């Protein structure tokens, strides 16, 4: 199975997509800040790698709920196992979440709380 990350632009959609299946990662609206664009590109690459190609019906799936503390910890932990320092890992995840949540400040608050919690656990050697 060969697939690649491709850029699509049509009337409804603009953003990264899978060349093999209906997977899409549309650009969030109001994305103008270059920093946010970089974060979006990076996030698209990660999501692309993680997604499983669906050869059957193109279904619009709800986004995996990244708002639980567990999800935050998983993502940060994954980065740490790839060699990032915990503090940097947390920064990266927070940055990505900021992009995902955009103006949803309540979810962002919870993500920050999860970040603190993660770093606290790291300091205590629990992770």
Whose Cβ is closer to Zn ion: residue 18's or residue 92's?
Answer: 18
In whole angstroms, how close is the CB of 41 to Zn ion at the nearest point?
17
Closest CA to 102 of 43, 60, 45: 43
CB 19, min distance to Zn ion, A: 8
Task: Report the residue closest to Zn ion, judged by CB.
Answer: 18
**List of residues contacting Zn ion (CB under 5 A):** 18, 20-21, 23, 53
- Nearer Cβ to Zn ion (18/43): 18
Cβ proximity to Zn ion: between 15 and 36 the closer is 15
Cβ at position 18, least distance to Zn ion in Å: 3
- Residue 104 has which token pair? 């949803």
Cβ distance to Zn ion smaller for residue 18 or 80: 18
CB of 21 to Zn ion, least distance (A): 3
Report the half-sphere exposure of 91 (CA within 13 A, side-chain side). Answer: 5
Length of the chain equals 127
């Amino acid at each position: 199975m060969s697939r690649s990350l491709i850029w699509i632009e049509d009337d409804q959609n603009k953003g990264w997509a899978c060349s093999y299946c209906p997977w899409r990662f549309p650009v969030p609206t109001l994305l103008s800040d270059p920093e946010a664009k970089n974060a979006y590109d990076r996030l698209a690459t990660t999501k692309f790698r993680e997604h499983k190609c669906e050869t059957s019906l193109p279904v619009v799936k709800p986004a995996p709920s990244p708002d639980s503390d567990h999800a935050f910890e998983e993502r940060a932990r994954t980065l740490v196992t790839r060699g990032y320092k915990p503090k940097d890992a947390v920064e990266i995840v927070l940055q990505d979440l900021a992009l995902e949540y955009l103006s949803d400040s309540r979810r962002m608050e919870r993500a920050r709380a999860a970040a603190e919690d993660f770093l606290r656990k790291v300091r205590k050697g629990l992770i």
